[in-house]
Chain A
Amino acid sequence: MSELHEQIERYLTGKMPESEHSAFKERLKQEADLAKEVEIYQGIDGALSNKNLRDFSVMLEEVKKEHQRTNISVPAEAAVDHQKNGTFNLKTWYAIAAVISLMVIASITLWPTEQENPAQWYQENFSPYPAQALRNLDDRYPDGLADALTAYRQKEYTQAAEILLTWQNDSIQGPLAIFYRANALMASGDVEAAVSLWENQLTSEETVFTQSVQWYAALAYLSRNNLIEARKLALQIVSTPQHAYKTEAEKLLNDLFD
């Protein structure tokens, strides 16, 4: 962090000693660029104070990105004509035909060839999130949660999933509990229950281990034969620079979709 930004933070949070505070205020009067910078920092907390609007903006941004990826807007002319006439005309039918053709092509290209088996690929490539990552963190967790994580480490996945269930709605530990519970469920064979947890995590603001969530969700989809979602996530992983699961996702795409 630059010295200047450190100063701005201290100035705005009232953590500046009196002498430094006066000198900084004096600088603000004389340096227009500095004043602008401070104004932006002041604006951050104010603009983001409304949680509903903050969440709504994040959702809009995500929907925008999804929309840009899929780019399936109703063509402008077709939509206008539909509204004017109250019925579908030829242009609209062309648009619908184009979308259906694209869907058919997509389903053909997405469908793995006969010798490739997604469920088998899942069995060969799934292993629960490594438990070693938890070792140094035990003292940070409350007792009950620590017990669950110990069970997880000892590969007692059913027991771990059961205890973690009681932590899922915890306002602080919830996201972590969900992450390990979904892993434990997959390890104990209840992938269907895990899928709904991963789906929740993929859209949640409270997600922990974002990159791992994407990978394990892709695997869960694969196991349930939901190849469209599995491929979508694998493509997202591959297109993210330095993604922790890039190699695995590339392998998945090569083995099952190329």
Chain B
Amino acid sequence: MLTEEFLKEGLRRGDRKVIQEIYTLYHGRIASWVVQNTGSQSDAEDVFQDALTIIYQKTQEQDFFIQYKFYTYLFSICRNLWLKRLRDDRLRQARTENELVELAEEVDHFIDEFDVKQQIFRRKFAQLGKKCRRIIELSLQGKGLGEIAALMALEDERRVTKQKSYCKQKLAKLVKEDSLYKELKA
């Protein structure tokens, strides 16, 4: 049953079905808002994913719980993330006049703590093909080249090295091409 608790608890657990529900219920509304405020569809996707990641990350902390309605909370984070990126003081001013100052401050604090650059890497990693993700994953788990070769049915260690480098290059390229990454580096 779709309740506030179902959404909050499901997101804390990283439950795929709950995330699907959240997408179905709220993605359209939030994306519309971002697009209405000079963002592109792709900006809207990033903002939505980043906001869910922020909430997920926060809910992993002990003693943290969402005091507000789930949608209010999600939308506040999306909106503040996008306004921060726009650096639009006029809109930011209007925002704090119209909503709970307490919530705005809490959300701003989380956004400041959130490492946007790291999130770009994670988002781009998620966009790699399964094979690339798996080879990077195994390598992060500290598996040796021989073990990776066996696990992935690759001919030999040289092939693993080659494939791993190809995947890392691909990831680096995706990161470099990301518009937010470019902004952050400018």
- How many residues on B have C-beta within 8 angstroms of the other chain's C-beta atoms? 53
Q: Which of B117, B119, B165 contacts A9 (CB 8 A)?
A: B165
Encode B110-153 as 1/0 by CB contact (under 8 A) with A: 00000101111111011100110110110010000001001111
| Residue pair B172, A41 in contact (C-beta under 8 Å) | yes
Report the minimum CB–CB distance from A231 to chain B (whole Å). 19
Q: Is the interface of B mostly helix, strand, loop or mixed?
A: helix
| Residue pair B121, A63 in contact (C-beta under 8 Å) | no
| Residue pair A1, B25 in contact (C-beta under 8 Å) | no
The CA of A72 and the CA of B24, in the complex, are separated in Å by: 6
Report chain B residues within 8 Å CB of A51.
Answer: 140
Report chain B residues within 8 Å CB of A103.
Answer: none
Contacts of A57-73 to chain B: CB distance below 8 A: 57-64, 66-67, 72-73
A90 at the interface (CB under 8 A from B): no
Report chain A residues within 8 Å CB of B25.
Answer: 73-74, 79
The CA of A83 and the CA of B19, in the complex, are separated in Å by: 19
Q: Which of B53, B117, B162, B166 contacts A53 (CB 8 A)?
A: B53
Q: Which of B14, B29, B45 contacts A76 (CB 8 A)?
A: B29
A105 at the interface (CB under 8 A from B): no
Q: Which of A55, A61, A74, A140 contacts B28 (CB 8 A)?
A: A74
| Residue pair A60, B131 in contact (C-beta under 8 Å) | no
Q: Which of A40, A43, A57 contacts B53 (CB 8 A)?
A: A57
Count A-B contacts at CB 8 Å.
136
A-binding residues in B (CB < 8 A): 14, 16, 19-20, 23-29, 32, 45, 49, 52-53, 56-57, 60, 71, 115, 117-123, 125-127, 130-131, 133-134, 136-137, 140, 147, 150-153, 162, 165-166, 168-169, 171-172, 175-176, 185
Report the minimum CB–CB distance from A253 to chain B (whole Å). 23
What is the chain B residue whose CB lies nearest that of A36?
B185
Report the minimum CB–CB distance from A109 to chain B (whole Å). 22
| Residue pair B171, A205 in contact (C-beta under 8 Å) | no
Which 5 pairs show the lowest CB-CB distances between chains A and B? A73-B28, A47-B121, A61-B126, A47-B118, A57-B122
A75 at the interface (CB under 8 A from B): yes
Report chain B residues within 8 Å CB of A132.
Answer: none
Report chain A residues within 8 Å CB of B175.
Answer: 40, 43
Report chain B residues within 8 Å CB of A63.
Answer: 16, 19-20, 23
